[in-house]
Amino acid sequence: MCGIVGYIGKDNGINLVLDGLEELEYRGYDSAGIAFINDPKSNVYKEVGEVKNLKKIVQKDKPNSNLIIGHTRWATHGKPSIVNAHPHFNSDRTIYVVHNGIIENYQEIKNRLIDQGYNFISETDSEVIPHLIDYYYSKTNNILESIKLALNDLVGTYALEIISTLTPQKLYLARLGSPLVIGIMKNGYITGSDKNVVLEHTSKATFLNDYDLAEVSLSKLKIINLKDKDSNPPKIELLENEKTGNDLGNFPDYMLKEIHDTPETIKLAVTGRINPKQGNVKLGGLDSVIKELEHIDRIIIVACGTSYYAGLVGEYLIEELANIPVEVVLASEFKYKKEPISRSACVIAISQSGETADTIAALNKVKDYGVLELGIVNSIGSSVARLTDAGVYCHAGTEKSVASTKAFISQVTILTLVALRLKKSPDKISRKILSELQALPQKIKTVLNLENQIKELAKRYKDYSNFLYIGRGYNYPAALEGALKLKEISYIHAEGFAAGEMKHGPLALIDSKFPTFAIATDGPLLEKTISNIEEIKARGGPVLAVATIGNKKLKKLVDDVIYIPKTLEQTSTQLIGVVLQLFAYYMAHELSKNIDKPRNLAKSVTVE
Ligand code: F6R
C-alpha cells in the first residue's frame, strides 16, 4: 500500500515522478504529494484524492527540479487529508520523507520528541521520521548518520525515500519489509516501490534488501546493509519487460478489460508447459527442485483474499490429482500459528502482486524450517518470487484493477498444472484436463458473450442489500470468491457458504429479500446442490444460478439461470469465475461505483 517514486538526475524530473505516481496509484489513492529541492530552496505540493488532482496543481506552476520524492497514499494512521498526505517534513522544512509501511512505536517516539520541543502537525505515524532525523542531525551534523540512527529507533516496516536541503545532491532510500527498486538511467536514477515505474525509463535496476540504506548521488550509488554492516557493490539486474496491460483500448475500465483478457490469460499460463497427448506438464520454474518435490508429503498453501480462494481450488485439485494432503491457510493467520511442520512439507505462496505483507511474513516464518518454499506469482521479480526456492509465474500481464480477475483465473490454471506435475504418472484424466485447458479460452469467449444477459440480471438484482453464494466441491471456493468480488466493488453485503452448510445456520437468513447465487454446474454433487436450492426456494428466497448448458431442471426451479458451456469439474472454476466477475462488475456498474478503485482498498497490501 502507498506508492513511492523518487528521482535524482540531470534533467527536470517533476513530470517523471508525477507519471510514476500515476502508475503506482493502484497502491493507494487517498491523497498524493511531492517534495523537491531546487538548491537552496525546497518545495512541497500535496492534494487529496487521485494523482491527477496533484498533477493539476503542480503542472500549473511548472516547477523545475532534479531531486524529487513523491507518494500516493493509502491511509493507515489519520484520515485522507492534505496534512496527513506525504511527503512529511521537519519544522525547518530541511528534511522530507515519503514512507510506506507502519511505524509501530511511533507514539513512543512522538512523545519523546514532543518532550524535546518538537511540534507535529499530522495524525500519521510517518511524520515522526523527519523529526527524528532532525533530532539526530542536531547531535551529529551529518544527514546519513542521522538517518542511520533514526532507522535504528524504528519498529515496524518501511520503504523510505528521503531528501534534504542539507545534502541537496543526494537521495536516500531505506527498506525493511516493503519493496524499493532503483533504476539506473543514462542521466540519473528513477526509484520506486514497483519495477513498473522504473521500466518506463530503464531496464537496468537494483532491488534493495531488508535493512539496506542507499545513498544515491549522480556520481555514486552506495548501498549499506545496516544489519550485516556490509557495503557491497549493488547487484545490477536486467528487468524483464512484462506485458504492462496499461492499454485500456475501448473498455471503460480496467476490470472489464481484464475480465476480457482471461482467454489470453489461460493461453499464456499453459503455453509451452503442457503436452495434452501424453498428459505431461513441464514447469521450468520447478526444475531446480524436482528431487525435493518427489519427497513432499504435505502441502501448505498460504495466500490472502482472492489468491487464497484460488488456493482452495488448488486444494481440491492437488488432493484429487496428486494425492498429496493440502491445507490452505490465510497468510495473516499462518504467520502467527504455532503448528508442527516437518521438513517433508512444502509451502506454496500464491500472490498476484508478490508484495502482500502477510504472504511475505508467512514465507519468512518458515525460512529456517528447512521446508521447500514455492511461489505462484504474477509479478516477475517481486518479493515473493525472490523469497521462494522456486516457483511458477502466471504471466497474466499487469493487473491494474484493484479487484483481481484475470490473475485468479491464471492462478487456478497454474494450480491445475502444478497438481498434474505432482501426479506420479500421467493418465487418462491428465490428458483430458490438459486438452480441456486448451479448449478453455474458446469456452470463456462464449461466457463473455453472455455479458448482455448478465448486465440485465444486474439491473434486476442491484437493489438487494444482501447476497448468499453457495456451491459444493470445486464450486465451494468459487462461491467464496463470487461473494468477495461482489462485496468489494459493489459494497453489497455478500457471503459464500458450502451449500451443505445451509441447514447449519445460514438458512435462517433466507426470505424474499435475501437472494442466493447458486453455483450448480454439472458434477457429482449437483443433485445435492439442487436439494439445497429447493430448500431455499421453499422459504421464498430468490435464486440466481449458474448451470451447465442443457440443465433444464434448474431452469424450472430457480428465478434466473446463466448457462455456461460443458467442461470438466476440474476446469469449471475458470468459466464460473468469469460469470461471477461479470456479475459483480455489472452490479457495481449499475450502482455507479468506482469499479477500478473501490473505496478503502488498494491493489497491493504491503502493510499487515
Ligand atoms: C480481491 C483481491 C485481493 C487480493 C489479495 C491478495 O479482488 O484482489 O483479495 O487477492 O489482497 O493479493 P496478492 O494476490 O497480490 O497477494
Task: Tell me if 258 CB under 6 Å of ligand 1.
Answer: no
Residue 413: pLDDT band with limits 50, 70, 90: very high
Report whether 477 contacts 408 (CB < 8 A): no
Residue 277: pLDDT band with limits 50, 70, 90: very high
Closest C-alpha to ligand 1, atom 3: 305
- Superfamily of 2-238 according to CATH: Aminohydrolase, N-terminal nucleophile (Ntn) domain (3.60.20.10)
Nearest to 22 by CA among 73, 96, 72, 63: 72
C-alpha torsion sign, points 492, 497, 501, 502: positive
Nearest to 573 by CA among 401, 394, 414: 414
Task: Tell me if 359 CB under 6 Å of ligand 1.
Answer: yes
> What digits encode the pLDDT tens for the residues 70-118?
999 988 888 989 999 999 999 999 999 999 999 999 999 999 999 999 9
Closest C-alpha to ligand 1, atom 9: 305
CATH 3.40.50.10490 for domain 450-608, yes or no, is yes
509 burial level (CB within 10 Å; 0-12, 13-18, 19+): middle
The pLDDT value recorded for residue 270 is: 97
Query: What is the arithmetic mean of pLDDT over 456-478?
Result: 98
Residue 232: pLDDT band with limits 50, 70, 90: confident
CATH architecture for segment(s) 261-444: 3-Layer(aba) Sandwich (3.40)
596 pLDDT above the threshold of 70:
yes
Query: What is the arithmetic mean of pLDDT over 485-512?
Result: 97
Quote the ligand 1 centre to 182 CA distance (angstroms).
Answer: 25
Check for a shared fold between 261-444 and 450-608.
yes
Domain ranges of the chain: 2-238, 261-444, 450-608
The pLDDT value recorded for residue 540 is: 96
Report whether 96 contacts 164 (CB < 8 A): yes
> What digits encode the pLDDT tens for the residues 134-171?
999 999 999 999 999 999 999 999 999 999 999 999 99
243 pLDDT above the threshold of 60:
no
Quote the ligand 1 centre to 379 CA distance (angstroms).
Answer: 12
385 pLDDT above the threshold of 80:
yes
Q: Is 540 left (phi over 0), alpha (psi -120 to 50) or beta?
A: left
Mutate to test the pocket of ligand 1, among 404, 490, 601 (most ligand atoms within 8 A of CB): 404
The pLDDT value recorded for residue 29 is: 85
Residue 244: pLDDT band with limits 50, 70, 90: low
Nearest to 487 by CA among 510, 517, 532: 517
287 pLDDT above the threshold of 80:
yes
How far apart CA 107 and CA 281 sit, in angstroms, is: 53
Which member of 2, 304, 346, 394 is catalytic? Answer: 2
> What digits encode the pLDDT tens for the residues 308-344?
999 999 999 999 999 999 999 999 999 999 989 999 9
Residue 242: pLDDT band with limits 50, 70, 90: low
Q: Write down the mean pLDDT value for the chain.
A: 95
